[in-house]
Amino acid sequence: MWDKMVYMFVITFGSYILKQLFSETPNYVKFQLKFLLFYIWTSFVSLVTMPFFVFRPKNVKNSLWGAQLSKHVTKVLEVNWHLRNGKVLAEDRGAVVVSNHQSSLDILGMFNVWHVAVKIAAIARKELFYIWPFGLAAYLAGVVFIDRNNSKDAYEQLKVTSDVMIKNKTKIWIFPEGTRNKDFTKLLPFKKGAFNIAVAAQVPIIPVVMSPYYFINSKKYIFNKGHAIIQCLEPIPTAGLTMDDVPELITKVKNIMEIAYKELSKEVLSALPPDYPLAIQA
């Protein structure tokens, strides 16, 4: 009896899933499937690359390998990434890259420009380390995990990373908003960690702004094909600055990035038809 009930459940559930996948209207199943494909592919890449990462653990060049393989899921998701002013990232020097944070897709955006900068040490929240196999592979690839609830420990981790940044001319990539921004009309307040590190190391800050993901509408379960612009702004020097200058530096960088974000928003949204189902307001 139970086997028949299980069989009927599997058939019913499978039929429902297939119906949703082939439906022409947006729905929860199709929406989540695109994110699921992203997670499955990155997990697969993590499993394949980990054995190679073990031979040179925590080497940031491992991240380049992983990024080059992981970015190909972009074609399946039908998202095109356009890098502007990439020469800023290509310069062989230590720097702190600060970027706006909108979605887990930000990581995919990073994967698509990683080959330009080559040596990047990404900063991620500690919780991501426990999402295996991705978390373990990321650790072996040089990603630095910090505990956002322990500011002292987080700062110490960043300090160690900054030493590597200076010695190996590595760029540290940080999302200063600290969490995903669901507003999409403005940036969240910036945390000071990235700026403290840049000033302490006397390295420039490279603001990187990603245009809004207009093609995603979580309330209506829409994940259309689309494009995103990754705009590299001119480096902001910190030479000669002290910790007393950090608050003013944060304000300066945030203002520059907000202006760029609004300009990118107008650019990508103006090309859309009037009835496009946007989840954001420009």
Whether 162 maps to a domain, the answer reads: yes
Q: Is the pLDDT of residue 93 over 80?
A: yes
C-alpha–C-alpha distance, residues 36 and 110, integer Å? 18
Mean pLDDT calculated for residue range 143-151: 73
C-alpha–C-alpha distance, residues 36 and 39, integer Å? 5
- The more confidently predicted of residues 178 and 137 is 137
DSSP code for 187 = P
Say if residues 211 and 254 touch (Cβ distance below 8 Å).
no
Q: What backbone phi and psi angles, to 5 degrees, belong to 143? A: -70, 135
**pTM of this prediction exceeds 0.75:** yes
| Single-letter amino acid, residue 121 | A
Whether 116 maps to a domain, the answer reads: yes
Mean pLDDT calculated for residue range 99-118: 90
Whether 13 maps to a domain, the answer reads: no
Q: Is the pLDDT of residue 77 over 80?
A: yes
Whether 1 maps to a domain, the answer reads: no
Q: pLDDT tens across 221-266, in order?
A: 888 899 999 999 999 999 999 999 999 999 999 999 999 999 999 9
- Residue 196 CB partners (closer than 8 Å, separation 6+): 155, 158, 243, 246
The pLDDT confidence band at residue 20, using thresholds 50, 70 and 90, is low
Whether 255 maps to a domain, the answer reads: yes
Question: Which residue is listed with tokens 């190909």?
Answer: 72
The CA dihedral of 182, 110, 207, 101, to the nearest 10 degrees, is 10
Write the CATH number for 191: 3.40.1130.10
Say if residues 143 and 121 touch (Cβ distance below 8 Å).
yes
Whether 9 maps to a domain, the answer reads: no
Q: What backbone phi and psi angles, to 5 degrees, belong to 123? A: -105, 130
Q: Is the peptide bond before 133 cis (omega within 30 degrees of 0)?
A: yes
Q: Is the pLDDT of residue 282 over 70?
A: no
DSSP code for 224 = -
Concatenated DSSP letters of 84-117: ESTHHHHSSS-EEEEE---STHHHHHHHTTHHHH
Specify the long-range contacts of residues 173-178, CB closer than 8 Å, at least 24 apart: 173/97, 173/99, 173/110, 173/120, 173/121, 173/122, 173/123, 174/96, 174/97, 174/98, 174/99, 174/123, 175/98, 175/99, 175/100, 175/101, 175/106, 175/123, 176/98, 176/250, 177/100, 177/101, 178/101, 178/148
Beta-bridged to residue 229, according to DSSP, are 82
C-alpha–C-alpha distance, residues 42 and 50, integer Å? 12
The total number of structural domains in the chain stands at 1
Given this model, what pLDDT does residue 264 score?
Answer: 95
- The more confidently predicted of residues 277 and 203 is 203
Whether 2 maps to a domain, the answer reads: no
**Tokens matching residue 74:** 């972009």
- Residue 149 domain boundaries: 26-270
- Write the CA distances from 154 to 149, 193, 245, integer angstroms: 8, 8, 21
Q: pLDDT tens across 30-49, in order?
A: 888 888 888 999 999 999 99
Whether 281 maps to a domain, the answer reads: no
Mean pLDDT of the chain: 85
Given this model, what pLDDT does residue 218 score?
Answer: 84
pLDDT above 90: percentage of residues in the chain: 34
- The more confidently predicted of residues 193 and 98 is 98
Q: What backbone phi and psi angles, to 5 degrees, belong to 6? A: -65, -45
Angle (CA) 154-157-158 rounded to 5° is: 90
